[in-house]
Amino acid sequence: MFEKREYPEKSWSVSKMDIFESCKRKYYYSTYAQWNGWENDASTLSKKAYTLNKLGNVYSALGTYLHTMIKNNILGMNMDSNTIYLNILGSIKEDCKNSFYKKEEWLKSPKSINMLHEYYYGNGLDKSLGKKIAQRVKVCSENIFNSKTYNELKDTKSKIFELDEESFNFFKYKNTKLYAILDALYKIDDKIVIADWKTGKKDTAKHDIQMIIYVMYVLSEYKDINIEKIECVNEYLLTGESYVRTFTYDEIKNVQKYIDNSIEKIEEYLEDSEINKPKSMESFKANPGYSCKMCNFIEICDEGKKFLKIK
């Protein structure tokens, strides 16, 4: 049951920390300014930040649709790679069409359609980007069927515990929610496997931290599972690589130290840590740079506009 709060509950994830480290102002917009922006009596800034926070882009759309196709196939749809490819392309084309024609509708109800950044702030997908996306979809669709995880999940011997759950999985770490939105958790033979589908580039350091968070979640929520049985797999569908790792308690402790340090950094920007009340927006300094180009909050960020030379 949703509890109305003046400020968001304390939470941490690898993606949230990425935003914090890249641009404090973007973190403020995406965490605090947008909070309660769905309420009728919200401030103009909160309403706009909430709406802009719902922006997607063509790469995130590709990842979302690919995850859905994989899940549907594992659950019995049995589409071949070409059918998956055509389905995903069709969904992305529909998003492009809606983003072009239904901007006003989206502004009134930002959950109603998937508005793409490329259309909201630009002229859409040019021919070059369209071809690049189509090729990425094709390669990823084909590589699903050779992946270790997919074949193990389709094996009748496997027992699936979680599969791309629609709820946002989390567990409590000290007094903070840690989000652990893993793609698959299953048992095969005597192994417990945590798997994640990746449609972008390999980033071992970042993805290892993410996987350790997943391991922490599994150990917290499944009391009969021990770490020696856990195998972690990142499936890089763009290259066809299955990156397999196991982790130790010492590695978990190192990541916990990283989490503790990062939470301490975030709390320096709080006026009241108890209720997660932030300091003023001005305390969250913008970091204008190349990443402004794909930021959701250009429209309300003066520093981003200056950098991009937008009036």
Reduce the DSSP state of residue 90 to 3 states and report it: helix
Mean pLDDT of 98-106: 96
Domain boundary residue, one of 146, 179, 210: 146
Handedness of CA 39, 45, 50, 54 (dihedral sign): positive
Q: Judge if 153 and 245 occupy the same domain.
A: yes
pTM over the 0.95 mark: no
At residue 69, does pLDDT exceed 80?
yes
pLDDT at 310: 83
**CB neighbour class for 175 (10 Å; exposed up to 12, middle 13-18, buried from 19):** exposed
| Contact in structure between 158 and 197 (CB atoms under 8 Å) | no
* pLDDT category of residue 3 using cuts at 50, 70 and 90: low
Q: Is residue 158 part of a domain?
A: yes
Q: Is residue 142 part of a domain?
A: yes
At residue 2, does pLDDT exceed 80?
no
Q: Judge if 122 and 185 occupy the same domain.
A: no
Reduce the DSSP state of residue 92 to 3 states and report it: helix
Q: Judge if 198 and 131 occupy the same domain.
A: no
Q: Judge if 122 and 95 occupy the same domain.
A: yes
Q: Judge if 131 and 172 occupy the same domain.
A: no
pLDDT at 311: 72
Token pair 């930002």 is at which residue? 110
pLDDT at 84: 97
Q: Judge if 83 and 156 occupy the same domain.
A: no
Which structure tokens are listed for 51?
A: 């709406």
Q: Judge if 228 and 175 occupy the same domain.
A: yes
Number of domains in the chain: 2
Q: Is residue 296 part of a domain?
A: no
| Contact in structure between 206 and 246 (CB atoms under 8 Å) | no
Q: Is residue 90 part of a domain?
A: yes
Q: Judge if 128 and 160 occupy the same domain.
A: no
Q: Judge if 139 and 199 occupy the same domain.
A: no
Q: Judge if 170 and 207 occupy the same domain.
A: yes
Q: Is residue 281 part of a domain?
A: no
Other CB atoms within 10 A of residue 47 CB: 20
Q: Which domain CATH number covers 211?
A: 3.40.1350
Q: What are phi and psi of 297, to 5 degrees?
A: -105, 20
Cα distance between residue 116 and residue 130, in whole Å: 13
At residue 306, does pLDDT exceed 70?
yes
In Å, how far are 4, 174, 258 from 168, measured between CA atoms? Answer: 18, 19, 22
Domain interval for residue 190: 149-259
| Residue of 35, 44, 49 whose CA lies nearest to 7 | 35
| Contact in structure between 73 and 79 (CB atoms under 8 Å) | yes
Which structure tokens are listed for 206?
A: 């970042």
Q: Judge if 160 and 248 occupy the same domain.
A: yes
